[in-house]
Structure 1
């Protein structure tokens, strides 16, 4: 038997899967970790303990459970949360915790300074994206300004997937899709690092080598083989960001296809015929040459459900809490008995790009219970998602079909609320394993054991969630939009007190 291995490192949990040549799952494994929040607006992971340790643990678990001979693994592909910022020294040792993606808003000043220095129009034209909390370039500048002693020792700036690939192969690489998030250091027209926009951020020699995600970055080294149990010499792909692998896993492969990922954040990827130029959305070259992707993401989604569980459901057994909360939310009607939630608990990414935005429950009265609050939380995330899909339509890129994936697809209230507020149906595929399954497929593509269009046979559609909006959905969405506009100045003033 020959198979491929895919492993994904998420915000709160890592997952891995072994898949045979027809896409059948041989074994799967997962391992939890925590997101570190040292102060408001910051979000971090430990590169060794959270990223590499999880990769090793999951690989060993999969080999043990499956009984597969490591020599029968044709290729390995990894994905991870991104884009992240991790400085390492000349030996590849992490010099600090990895700074996470857009949920980390520490570089707000650097975003403002670079935008003023370069010009918003120039950045959008050359980099494809306005500078936001999702951009890695400002975070590198933050490191240079605030920790010059660490910056001086830095030999490479990596992201999460780059670090895993280096641990496996000894090669410092990054795929073009991920690199596009390093604005203003990556030019989407030349598909290369750029020196002229902001030469004062970092020497480009400290950035990884650019590859396409299915190119072979290297092979498993002897040291990595000893640590993981993989066979020395096994091909390893360049890898990509988790959301991209997740999109692949459910069949996003042509223009008009949109992935809606229900994870620690809501993340959206839509393939388009040509580059979408809109400062409210992100752009990147897709995983294969000649294809284009337009992205969006909320700052807190699944993370917000974890916060609610840990804050308001401490009385519930941890393993049963989400099931119980969903059951309680089902007793609350659409509209949550007049309760609104702004889900901006870590600021917000698309489409408002406001790192100073604040979360809020609005409309509370003495009749509301936990079920109403959890329903309002789910609907607040759904309305944030509707704001994004509305933005795509305004940008001339309305989706032709939506494929839903991620842990939130197991919550029928969340799925239905999203369709009801967006007015759009969602397809749920047979397998909802997510990014690790997409990684295994990309590994098969990389070594010629599958073609990109084969994912439809690997993971066929299972069901469709149809939109069934009621008047309350339109009314609450309008109030949701109004509530942010009328409170954003207060939120910014509160931000100045932190």
Structure 2
């Protein structure tokens, strides 16, 4: 029976998850950077510089963690001969800079020696910039200026310029460490870097993770010459050509065949970013949306006709090259809900839920917009209440305050999702995860606002599991095979709420939100 491996190079650990032919998890190992590789002196898997803006991770640490994770699998008796295909994911927006001549070392690794000892001197930039870095404000302004503004950049690449996005990180190295840039023969994302290790040669960046760089034309699925030329000289050549996320890149490197016993026929499928991998792991389909209700609330959705905007991100879909996915993040999530629980429900979730049951959908026309901290989508802060006549008011009743918060949070999500091109359909589903997904009354409001059934979803391993799924998908046909066809049975989602027949004025919410942003 064939098995499939999903690799996850995340911020704090490397994880490997194995599935059987039916894509059921059978084994998992991980290596935590801080505790198991203390020599790299990371905290939370990263190094934060004195400016509190520059955040990096030692590139060599990721290499050593891969060998250590595979050794754990081997010591546990895992049969590497059974692995038919592998794929993986890396934390989005991180970048790796291969030194001139590194490709020769990469394709001639000695299986008798540790990989990190052989590759330790193969990186022109020893510490890779990662997604937590926010030191490229100047570079973001420059890129937007060169392409005609933030909306133009978003229309090309799916996002306006963001400090963590790879193109802006490359621009910083090009302008401030030009000697290191000139010594670089290839630039990888963390995902394509990890694939390169397993492939024994440079792996192409996939469309989906490449969409998080401010460099890829997401419609043409090619590097935008306008963007690459604005970022750095000769950048196009250093990136290689982007490929479909289901591409079979080649066979596994001889290093892993001899060192761990992989079958030489094992194929490496293109690696992708962690958010696209999670979409695959959640088994999203056309019309679906994932709502993660945590400290920050995150929205992930399947799009057919994207409308790039100044807020949110649009990526090429990792399981269907003809579709897209969108990502929206809202800072004011569970902490704001907890504040309302404490202030208006005596600190009790039970009373909070009773307030939702005691009030009717649409809340008598009252709408609340509550941003305790500076919000991302939109860029605003403050507390705003509007009555049915769109007049600002100072307060609602306690139970109305609670409903206005929950309805307002979900109206914001639907409004911004629709601005990016999301369209409700008769088969639309909302897949809920995170702490608040345990509250049935909150989920009922979510279902009503989106006019779609809400299912509870366990996403604890979604990125890693999604890569095992993608490994089989790529091996069995990739883009010529519908992603859902690789599964023997339907997802085991649990129905949590069904919508009552009620119509929310989403455009009204949008007008009110726009009024507070002026």
Q: Same fold (TM over 0.5)?
A: yes
Residue 438 of structure 1, aligned match among 447, 462, 466: 466
C-alpha contact (below 8 Å) 2:307/2:419 kept by paired residues: no
Pairwise CA RMSD of aligned residues? 4.6
Match of 1:205 in 2: 237
Counterparts in 2 of 1:95-494, with a 5 A limit? 95-101=125-131, 103-120=132-149, 121-133=151-163, 135-169=165-199, 170-183=201-214, 185-202=215-232, 203=234, 204-225=236-257, 230-232=262-264, 234-254=266-286, 256-261=287-292, 266-288=297-319, 290-298=321-329, 330=349, 333=352, 342=371, 348=376, 351-352=377-378, 387-400=412-425, 401-404=428-431, 408=434, 412-413=438-439, 417=442, 420=445, 423-424=449-450, 425-429=453-457, 433-448=461-476, 451=481, 452-454=483-485, 457-458=488-489, 460-466=491-497
SS at match of 1:209: coil
Residue 57 of structure 2, aligned match among 45, 60, 64: 45
- CA 1:330 to 1:410, structure 2 compared with 1: closer, same or farther past 3 Å? closer
Structure number with bigger Rg:
2
TM-score (norm 2): 0.69
For residues 17 and 410 of structure 1, what CA distance do their matches in structure 2 show? Answer: 27
CA-to-partner distance for each residue in 1:195-227, whole Å, 9 max, x for gaps?
234514222111133211111112221234456
For residues 13 and 410 of structure 2, what CA distance do their matches in structure 1 show? Answer: 23
For residues 55 and 408 of structure 2, what CA distance do their matches in structure 1 show? Answer: 24
Query: How many pairs align?
Result: 439
For residues 193 and 41 of structure 1, what CA distance do their matches in structure 2 show? Answer: 28
- CA 1:198 to 1:81, structure 2 compared with 1: closer, same or farther past 3 Å? closer
TM-score (norm 1): 0.72
CA-to-partner distance for each residue in 1:292-314, whole Å, 9 max, x for gaps?
22412327699x99xxxxxxxxx
- CA 1:100 to 1:385, structure 2 compared with 1: closer, same or farther past 3 Å? farther
- Structure 1 runs not aligned, ≥5 long: 306-327, 363-375, 490-498
- CA 1:159 to 1:55, structure 2 compared with 1: closer, same or farther past 3 Å? same
For residues 137 and 443 of structure 2, what CA distance do their matches in structure 1 show? Answer: 30
For residues 436 and 70 of structure 2, what CA distance do their matches in structure 1 show? Answer: 26
Match of 1:78 in 2: 88
For residues 181 and 372 of structure 2, what CA distance do their matches in structure 1 show? Answer: 34
For residues 60 and 458 of structure 2, what CA distance do their matches in structure 1 show? Answer: 34
For residues 225 and 257 of structure 2, what CA distance do their matches in structure 1 show? Answer: 37
For residues 173 and 98 of structure 1, what CA distance do their matches in structure 2 show? Answer: 18
For residues 418 and 286 of structure 1, what CA distance do their matches in structure 2 show? Answer: 27
- CA 1:32 to 1:404, structure 2 compared with 1: closer, same or farther past 3 Å? farther
SS at match of 1:387: helix
CA-to-partner distance for each residue in 1:287-335, whole Å, 9 max, x for gaps?
2554222412327699x99xxxxxxxxxxxxxxxxxxxxxx97478469
- CA 1:152 to 1:226, structure 2 compared with 1: closer, same or farther past 3 Å? same
Deviation at 1:106, TM superposition (A): 1.8
SS at match of 2:302: strand
For residues 54 and 249 of structure 1, what CA distance do their matches in structure 2 show? Answer: 23
For residues 69 and 454 of structure 2, what CA distance do their matches in structure 1 show? Answer: 31
